[in-house]
Amino acid sequence: MASDYEMLIAQIKSLANISSDAIPVMANASSLLFYNLPEINWAGFYMVNGEELILGPFQGRLACVSIKKGRGVCGTAFYKDEVQLVPDVHDFPGHIACDAASNSEIVIPLHDKNGTIKAVLDIDSPVKNRFSIEDLGGLVQFAYTLEQIIEKW
């Protein structure tokens, strides 16, 4: 189930040449991930708004509109400023079931040029243990690329 993360990174860099504003970049990034990663049902972003995350650009099923800092997988990634790789979301303490079909999840914090967390990249799958170490590395690199190319948050 290997994905070509180098190709995805090249594509998002190319699209960012047109606009480096956060919303268009995140909209295209969520589409790239949703349509190129197998066995996922949601790919998108939650943006920092004070002490909570609010829904940003995404592809996939319906989503939670806001998530408090420290709640669920996304809120934990925001609170700890750490990647969360969750093989089975039903075993994650405080998991928020925005979509009952999701079984595994990866969430990666995104930062501005000053190192301030501005958003999280969230990808859900209906398959338990969907995200491998290769996916982790590729998606962290993809997120790092987004941090480098987004000029206006």
Between CA 31 and CA 33 the distance in angstroms is: 5
- Report the pLDDT value the prediction gives residue 72, as an integer from 0 to 100: 94
List the CATH number of the domain containing 121. Answer: 3.30.450.40
Half-sphere exposure of 37 (CA within 13 A, CB side): 34
Residue 53 has pLDDT above 90, yes or no: yes
Number of domains in the chain: 1
- Beta carbons within 8 Å of 49's beta carbon, 6+ residues apart: 66
Q: What is the DSSP letter of 76?
A: H
- Report the pLDDT value the prediction gives residue 2, as an integer from 0 to 100: 58
Overall average pLDDT of the 16-31 stretch? 91
Write out pLDDT tens, residues 59-107: 998 899 999 999 999 999 999 999 999 999 989 877 677 777 899 999 9
Structure tokens at 26: 């995140």
Counting DSSP H helices and E strands in the chain, the numbers are 4, 6
- Report the pLDDT value the prediction gives residue 81, as an integer from 0 to 100: 98
Q: Domain span at residue 52?
A: 5-149
- Report the pLDDT value the prediction gives residue 1, as an integer from 0 to 100: 45
- Report the pLDDT value the prediction gives residue 19, as an integer from 0 to 100: 81
